[in-house]
Structure 1
Amino acid sequence: SATLNPPCPSFLKDFSPFTPPLQIEHAAPWTSAATQPMATAAAAARFTPAILPRPRRRVPAPCASASSASGRGNRRLRCEFVASVGNGALSGEDDPRLIDRQKALDAAMTDINNSFGKGSVTRLGSAGGAFVETFPSGCLTLDFALGGGLPKGRVVEVYGPESSGKTTLALHAIAEIQKLGGNAMLVDAEHAFDPAYSKALGVDIENLIVCQPDNGEMALEIADRMCRSGAIDLICIDSVSALTPRAEIEGEIGMQQMGLQARLMSQALRKMSGNASKAGCTLMFLNQIRYKIGVFYGNPEVTSGGIALKFFASVRLEIRHIGKIKSAKGDEDIGVKVRVRVQKSKVSRPYKQAEFEIMFGEGVSKLGCILDCAELMEVVAKKGSWYSYKDIRLGQGREKALQYLRENPTVCDEIEKVVRAMIPEGTRHMAMLAFGQSSSQPEEEEVYDD
């Protein structure tokens, strides 16, 4: 055993794993010939180390940035704060650290309100009027689709093809504002205002403020000043496409004026949207449709005036006529059937639809809207072709029921009051229908089927 385990040579004591392994080719001279192969193998197994992988050295960054160090510090402090809250260290109202944080927050809010004015920052629970108010649009089915009506202090865009009912809808909204005791203004950029038709729709033309501007800058500046006065409840601009920039008017016809109207609308909306919100004035923009060139797939339609209005608008309504209404004899057209789609809404659920009738010379058929909403809300029951309200039989068929409501305004007013009182419930009911729910069981279904 002594011969098979000789002492380690001195050159192996400083052996490094980075040097090639020791290869013993010959046995030691002191071993016998019989044990020479065994000694060689044992020595090789004893003195030959295993080949180890080269260790990776962690090289520090040449220069650690202050931002990364501060980020690690912030993460550490945040983790400590979350851990303390999770352990209940800051859960008590009497905890001194929580009290100090609350005092610091109150002091910061007080300082901001002193610097920028009272109400610059406030808690939502203590802010009166933090929720959006609405007013009737003049069409009951559209009010249901909007969740109660048009929002106050917001930007509303109504767009669609020609003769689809945009101006009619705007005049009905003006009439409803005036009935509530408010003031309304019409910016007639198209210079096509018809006082007789407006009066037939219920507009008080004696107290209506009308402006027919010379250019787009004049129209938007007048609208902004009236909005900042705080005495206007609704400003209707008819239409965005007619807001011609001053440079385009002063130039020659055919000159290339790129992006003038889009820049004009973008700058005006940046100013007017905040002023309208503070004054509680609704800005209603009527817009026309243009077509993109070279579009083979998708919708080629686009609204004029750039895309700023799409972003600033809280509600965007697309209006289109879907059919004509014939007279009783069927020899002439007496109206059109219209569908309005809520393409965007920041105050209610979007993508709802409302259908109603617009009669020539009369405007929106309010009796038809009342009957449709009452049937939807199950205020008026329909069995077969018969309509009935409580114990009153309105008539067989829609036309007979409308005739009965026209001849009995007391019953019509009673049904309208019941329906309007159920608007919050009706909105919920219609949302359930839109999500495919009934009052008891959720079901998926559109409010107005195509």
Structure 2
Amino acid sequence: ISTGSLGLDIALSIGGLPRGRIVEIFGPESAGKTTLALHVIAEAQKSGGTVAFIDAENSLDINYAKTIGVDCNKMLISQPDSGEVALNIANLLFEKNAVDLVVVDSVAALAPLAELNGDVGDSYVGIHARMMNQALRKQSHIVYKSNAILIYINQLREKVGITFGNNEVTPGGKGLKFFTSVRLDVRKTSELIKENDQVVGVKTNVRIVKSKVCSPYKTVSFDILYGKGISKVSEILDLAVSLNLIKKNGMWYSYNNQQIGQGRE
């Protein structure tokens, strides 16, 4: 299933995300993780696929999803009360071969029942990771058999007490890293997209940190426009320049020795 980004589809070598696999999209807050997932949903629907969105964060913006191209009237949406309910819903959809794609937003928001029924201050060390590991062992099998895709959106946390090296960690334990076939690290850059001196978006990097379908550690860049999603026009322009189909000389772009515009915007 296409990611909605031409550059990312090319980097993944197979034209998108692999069917029958589990995918993790992770990164800092407001980096573009859900935007990327919504583009995948839109592409799945374009090809006639059935999609489910498990909104554990209760934060799905229907209007934004529609702008990206998602048909929300045809998308199954669930806002479960607990992590176990969310994971069981996903499992049932795969077991019944009812969907082509399930997106879970997010791993960090999948609160175990024991935690929800407990008191503030109670200790539940490792309970979230155990819940995820138990679910993933089953999901790796049923997702493969259904030939669908399961996308987990995940956040970043900081390891306490780490002063040297990378102190970033994703919720869900080691099982999520193990069972995923593709892991995408999404980060917004400091490069802002402007139009008439107004900031309208931000350049975003997606790094393939794990892949069983292509060589990992490739990085793809594209523009995310506020309220609109990934800019396919600017992405095509950048790819054309990288392939020398369009020449860039300073601020000027030319095609077949004819200038076609000044400035990327």
Q: TM-score range by the shorter chain?
A: over 0.9
Q: How far does residue 381 in structure 1 lie from its aligned partner after superposition?
A: 3.4
Q: Residue 193 of structure 2 contacts residue 223 of structure 2 at CA under 8 Å; is this kept in 1?
A: no
Q: How far does residue 383 in structure 1 lie from its aligned partner after superposition?
A: 4.6
The equivalent of 2:206 in structure 1 is 340
Q: How far does residue 394 in structure 1 lie from its aligned partner after superposition?
A: 2.8
Q: How far does residue 168 in structure 1 lie from its aligned partner after superposition?
A: 0.5
Superposed CA deviations along residues 97-129 of structure 1, whole A, max 9, x for unmatched, are xxxxxxxxxxxxxxxxxxxxxxxxxxxxxxxxx
Does the alignment pair 1:265 with 2:136? no
How does 1:198-277 map onto structure 2 within 5 Å? 198-277=65-144
1:190 to 57, 64, 69: 57
Does the alignment pair 1:376 with 2:238? no
Query: Does the residue aligned with 1:242 lie in a helix, a strand or coil?
Result: coil
The equivalent of 2:168 in structure 1 is 301
Q: How far does residue 155 in structure 1 lie from its aligned partner after superposition?
A: 0.7
Q: Residue 251 of structure 2 contacts residue 262 of structure 2 at CA under 8 Å; is this kept in 1?
A: yes
Q: How far does residue 396 in structure 1 lie from its aligned partner after superposition?
A: 2.8
The equivalent of 1:398 in structure 2 is 264
Q: Residue 141 of structure 1 contacts residue 372 of structure 1 at CA under 8 Å; is this kept in 2?
A: no
Alignment-mate amino acid for residue 219 of structure 2 = Q
Q: Residue 156 of structure 1 contacts residue 284 of structure 1 at CA under 8 Å; is this kept in 2?
A: yes
User: In proportion to residue count, which structure has more helix?
Assistant: 1
> Which one is further off, 239-248 or 143-152?
143-152
Alignment-mate amino acid for residue 368 of structure 1 = S
2:4 to 138, 142, 154: 138
Q: Residue 324 of structure 1 contacts residue 333 of structure 1 at CA under 8 Å; is this kept in 2?
A: no
* Separation in 2, partners of 1:335, 1:295: 33
User: In proportion to residue count, which structure has more strand?
Assistant: 2
Q: How far does residue 193 in structure 1 lie from its aligned partner after superposition?
A: 1.0
Q: How far does residue 358 in structure 1 lie from its aligned partner after superposition?
A: 0.6
Q: Residue 193 of structure 2 contacts residue 203 of structure 2 at CA under 8 Å; is this kept in 1?
A: no
Superposed CA deviations along residues 8-34 of structure 1, whole A, max 9, x for unmatched, are xxxxxxxxxxxxxxxxxxxxxxxxxxx
Query: Does the residue aligned with 2:108 lie in a helix, a strand or coil?
Result: helix
Do the aligned partners of residues 394 and 342 (structure 1) sit closer, same or farther apart at CA in structure 2, a change above 3 Å counting?
same
Q: How far does residue 391 in structure 1 lie from its aligned partner after superposition?
A: 7.1
Alignment-mate amino acid for residue 188 of structure 1 = D
The equivalent of 2:231 in structure 1 is 365
Alignment-mate amino acid for residue 396 of structure 1 = Q
The equivalent of 2:28 in structure 1 is 161
Query: Larger relative CO (CA 8 A, sep 6+): 1 or 2?
Result: 2
Q: How far does residue 337 in structure 1 lie from its aligned partner after superposition?
A: 1.1
The size of the alignment, in residue pairs, is 264
Alignment-mate amino acid for residue 243 of structure 2 = M
Superposed CA deviations along residues 358-393 of structure 1, whole A, max 9, x for unmatched, are 111101111011111222233333355443445764
Alignment-mate amino acid for residue 190 of structure 2 = G
Q: How far does residue 313 in structure 1 lie from its aligned partner after superposition?
A: 0.6
Q: Residue 251 of structure 2 contacts residue 263 of structure 2 at CA under 8 Å; is this kept in 1?
A: yes
Q: How far does residue 329 in structure 1 lie from its aligned partner after superposition?
A: 4.0
Do the aligned partners of residues 278 and 379 (structure 1) sit closer, same or farther apart at CA in structure 2, a change above 3 Å counting?
farther
* Separation in 1, partners of 2:259, 2:49: 38
- Which consecutive unaligned segments of at least 5 residues does structure 1 have? 1-134, 400-450
- Over 3 Å off, 4+ runs: 326-329, 381-386, 388-393
Q: How far does residue 299 in structure 1 lie from its aligned partner after superposition?
A: 0.3
Alignment-mate amino acid for residue 254 of structure 1 = G
Do the aligned partners of residues 360 and 293 (structure 1) sit closer, same or farther apart at CA in structure 2, a change above 3 Å counting?
same
Q: Residue 136 of structure 2 contacts residue 176 of structure 2 at CA under 8 Å; is this kept in 1?
A: yes
Does the alignment pair 1:315 with 2:179? no
| Aligned CA-pair RMSD | 1.5
Q: Which is greater in Rg?
A: 1
Alignment-mate amino acid for residue 242 of structure 2 = L
Superposed CA deviations along residues 251-286 of structure 1, whole A, max 9, x for unmatched, are 111100111110110010000111111111111000
Does the alignment pair 1:171 with 2:38? yes
Q: Percent identity between the aligned chains?
A: 49
- Which consecutive unaligned segments of at least 5 residues does structure 2 have? none
* Separation in 1, partners of 2:81, 2:251: 54
How does 1:54-133 map onto structure 2 within 5 Å? none
> Which one is further off, 147-156 or 238-247?
147-156
Alignment-mate amino acid for residue 41 of structure 2 = I
Alignment-mate amino acid for residue 139 of structure 1 = S
Q: How far does residue 296 in structure 1 lie from its aligned partner after superposition?
A: 1.5
Q: How far does residue 295 in structure 1 lie from its aligned partner after superposition?
A: 0.8
